[in-house]
Amino acid sequence: MKKLLVLCLLAGLTALTSTSYSKAADDAPAPAPADKTEKKTPSNRHVPFHGKVDMLDKAAGTLKIGERTFHVTSATKITKAGKPSSIEAAAVGEEVGGAYQLRDGGRLEVTSLRIGPKPAKPAKEEESKP
C-alpha cells in the first residue's frame, strides 16, 4: 500500500513540474526567423510510394503511377524479385513500390524502386521458452 501511495505522489509531482516548465517555455519570446525566404525543404526526406504503373517511358526514365510522374536516375537502386534489375524489366500494369525524394521544381526523383510484388518474408521460428 505504501508503494502505491509513493508512486501516486511521484506521478503527481512529475505532472505538476512538467506543466510549470511548459508554461515557462511558452512565456519565453520566440526567436526571430533569420530569413523568411529560407524554408526547410523536405528534399532529403525519402517518401514511400506504391501502385501499378500507368505509363512507362524507358528512354526518358520516367514512370507514371496515378497522377504522379516519377523520374528514375542512374543512382536509383532497382530490384525485381529481390535481385538487382533495371528499368527495362518494368512493364505497364505491373505493381511497383519504393521511395522518392522531392527535388527542385517539384521533380519526384526515385531513390529505390521495387518491380513486382513485395517478396514474402520468411516465417520467424518460435523459440521454445524454458
pLDDT at 16: 67
The b/e string for 94-112 (b: 16+ C-beta within 10 A; e otherwise) is: eebbbbbeeeeeeebbbee
CB 101 within 8 A of CB 109: yes
pLDDT at 101: 95
Domain range summary for the chain, segments of one domain joined by +? 43-115
How does pLDDT run across 94-126, given as a tens digit for each residue?
A: 999 999 999 999 999 999 999 998 877 777 766
How does pLDDT run across 25-74, given as a tens digit for each residue?
A: 555 555 555 544 444 445 578 999 999 999 999 999 999 999 999 999 99
Beta pairing, strands 108-115 & 62-65: unpaired
pLDDT at 35: 47
43-115 folds as: OB fold (Dihydrolipoamide Acetyltransferase, E2P) (2.40.50)
Determine whether 31 is exposed, middle or buried from the number of CB atoms within 10 Å of its CB (0-12, 13-18, 19+). exposed
Please tell me the least confidently modeled range out of 73-77, 90-94, 124-128. Answer: 124-128
pLDDT at 4: 78
User: For the whole model, what pTM was predicted?
Assistant: 0.60
Alpha-carbon torsion, ordered 73, 47, 51, 117, to 10 deg: 80
